Structure 1
């Protein structure tokens, strides 16, 4: 299984591999440039906000990755 922190860390890895900031990655995926900010990862009362499957699909498309590659990144993050 994976955690909230691993998902967001994977997005950070993807941005880095693409030579982009998180803001640039979110813009390239057609999202608001602040979508991946640390402040947006938690809601009121500290409730975790998880990226939607649509957001994940857009990020993978921008990065030219498939789900298998994403799972490998998640696995790497789980080890760290």
Structure 2
């Protein structure tokens, strides 16, 4: 069976964001299954898209994106 093709995305994150990813992956993991930081990112993308599709949290997400904590440093 051919391997499912995935797109790769590279992003620059702060040490604090990396720590959040690590902590979240650890909290979601169980003795039976370890969760990777990539899986946490994919879950977050799906969750945000689902909430936006339902019209929820739009202004909250915009406010977060307007803050310095998640801005791109280009």
Task: Mark yes or no: TM-score above 0.5.
Answer: no
Give TM-score, length-normalised by structure 1.
0.29
